[in-house]
Structure 1
Amino acid sequence: MSVHRAPADPRLTTLAPQQEADLDHEALFRRVLLAGVDLAGHEADLVEFEQCRFERGSLAAAVLDQPRFTDCVVEHSDWANAKLTKPALLRTRLTSVRMTGAQCSAGTLRDVSFDACRADLAAFRFATFAHVRFTGCNLTGADFTGADLRRAEFVSCDLTGAQFSNANCAGALLTDCDLSGIGGVTSLAGATVAAGDLVALAHTFARALGITVASEVPAAGPRTRARPASG
């Protein structure tokens, strides 16, 4: 069974404000404050952010191949429709980040926290999660196909219609979440789910198994006792 613990906090030191930035291939950003910096639509490979803070900036629709975020804080920013291929996030905290439609496919996330983020329709396909916690996030329609979620935790999240097909959820924790209509429900085998979340999950299980849930079961008619044959 996976051992859960809270994600480790980012290790930040004194940061130098940087008003503008260009995402060149293999660019390195270290110990900088990127406040209000617009990087929307930029394309680059192997970009590294180390001990950086992003505030009210944008990576919307950016296309980054193998980006790396280490000891970073991202707050009130827009990452909608960003395409991050094989990203690596280590000791990173995202708070109130808009990630609608963002793609973080085949990535590695370790000691990462998502707080009050809007990540509806986001894709985390085949990503590996280690000590990752989603708290109060909108994850409706999010795609976790093939992801390793054994050390992931979801707290007070809306997972309506999220996809978990072929995910490894043995050891995952789900508390006070909306699990209505999730896909790949059988992949939740081995996860721990709060008792209060089981009602919606039971209906989803029933549909997956082809069971019809009726509000009322028709009452059986009166039984007729067979009469013995007369001699």
Structure 2
Amino acid sequence: MSNKRLKIEVPKNPTDVPIIDLTFELNNERFFSACKVEECEVKNKSEDRLIFDKMIFSQVTFEKVSFRNVEFTDVLFEKCDLSNVDFSDAIMHRVMMNDSKMVGANFSGATLRNVVFESCLAIYAAFGFSNCKQVGFRNSFLINTDFYESTLKEFEFDLCNLEQANLARTKLKGIDFSTCTFERLTISFEQLTGCTVSFEQAIGFAKALGLIVKD
């Protein structure tokens, strides 16, 4: 059973916004506000320092896209394919990624505030050196996902598959793993203090420390 979820602010998206052709608009604009991108493909784009405000992306596929140092505020991604997109050093505030694919997506060095990843496939995604506060990963696949040396405050993993995820050199105080599944997890044992695990997970950690656990 899931524990009580972390309270996270949701995007403040307006209704009845115009639909735009993002591929065309990227040639002319650096700031996008109160509009929607839906049912399309964005390909072969490398842009930095874009600003997206009060935006909705619905059923959008990104292919060979690099959006470094981009700012997202009040943005919803719904059923999108963000696989291998480069979001490194991005700033995200009140962002929701719902039922989206993010295999190999790069969020390294990103600053995330009030961000929810709900029912996402984020295998091999990279969040190393990110700074996260009020961030939730819920019912998502995070297999081989990298959180190396990240800052995780007011942060939750809820009902996630964390098999072989990398949390080395990341402080885990306040993190609750008890609803998640994994057999192997890369962590720094000195950073385990203050995290919450299930009984079965505690046995696994004890064995990894070389302790002999009797039934």
TM-score normalised by the chain length of structure 1:
0.82
Unmatched segments (≥5 aa) in structure 1? 216-231
Aligned-partner Cα distance in 2 for 1:26–1:175: 45
Tell me which residue corresponds to 1:7. 8
**Percent identity over the alignment?**
24
Within the candidate set 45, 49, 58, 1:46 is matched to 49
Deviations 1:110-153 (A, max 9, x none): 11111100001111001111111111000011100001112210
CA 190–61 in structure 1, closer or farther in 2 if over 3 Å, else same = farther
CA 20–108 in structure 1, closer or farther in 2 if over 3 Å, else same = closer
Q: Decide which structure has greater strand share.
A: 2
Aligned-partner Cα distance in 2 for 1:175–1:124: 21
C-alpha displacement of 1:76: 0.5
* Length, aligned pairs only: 208
Matched, 1:189 2:193: yes
Within the candidate set 129, 144, 149, 1:141 is matched to 144
Partners of 2:105 and 2:125 within 8 A in 1: yes
CA 30–184 in structure 1, closer or farther in 2 if over 3 Å, else same = same
C-alpha displacement of 1:5: 4.0
Give the letter for the 1:169 counterpart.
L
Within the candidate set 17, 27, 32, 1:29 is matched to 32
- Give the match's secondary structure for 1:43: strand
Greater Cα offset, 174-183 or 122-131 = 174-183
TM-score normalised by the chain length of structure 2:
0.88
| Match runs of 1:140-219 below 5 Å | 140-186=143-189, 187-193=191-197, 195=198, 198-207=199-208, 209-211=209-211
Aligned-partner Cα distance in 1 for 2:205–2:192: 12
Aligned-partner Cα distance in 1 for 2:95–2:124: 21
Tell me which residue corresponds to 2:75. 72
Deviations 1:26-55 (A, max 9, x none): 711111110023223310010111000000
Partners of 2:147 and 2:167 within 8 A in 1: yes
Aligned-partner Cα distance in 1 for 2:110–2:100: 18
Partners of 2:90 and 2:111 within 8 A in 1: yes
CA 174–24 in structure 1, closer or farther in 2 if over 3 Å, else same = farther
- Give the match's secondary structure for 1:60: strand
Aligned-partner Cα distance in 1 for 2:30–2:62: 15
Unmatched segments (≥5 aa) in structure 2? none
- Calculate the aligned-residue CA RMSD, in Å: 2.2
Give the letter for the 1:180 counterpart.
E
Aligned-partner Cα distance in 1 for 2:18–2:79: 19
Partners of 1:164 and 1:184 within 8 A in 2: yes
Aligned-partner Cα distance in 2 for 1:9–1:151: 15
Tell me which residue corresponds to 1:60. 63
CA 26–201 in structure 1, closer or farther in 2 if over 3 Å, else same = farther
Aligned-partner Cα distance in 2 for 1:115–1:169: 21
C-alpha displacement of 1:213: 7.0
CA 149–179 in structure 1, closer or farther in 2 if over 3 Å, else same = farther
Question: Could you say which structure has the larger radius of gyration?
Answer: 1
C-alpha displacement of 1:200: 3.7
- Give the match's secondary structure for 1:203: helix
Aligned-partner Cα distance in 2 for 1:188–1:181: 15
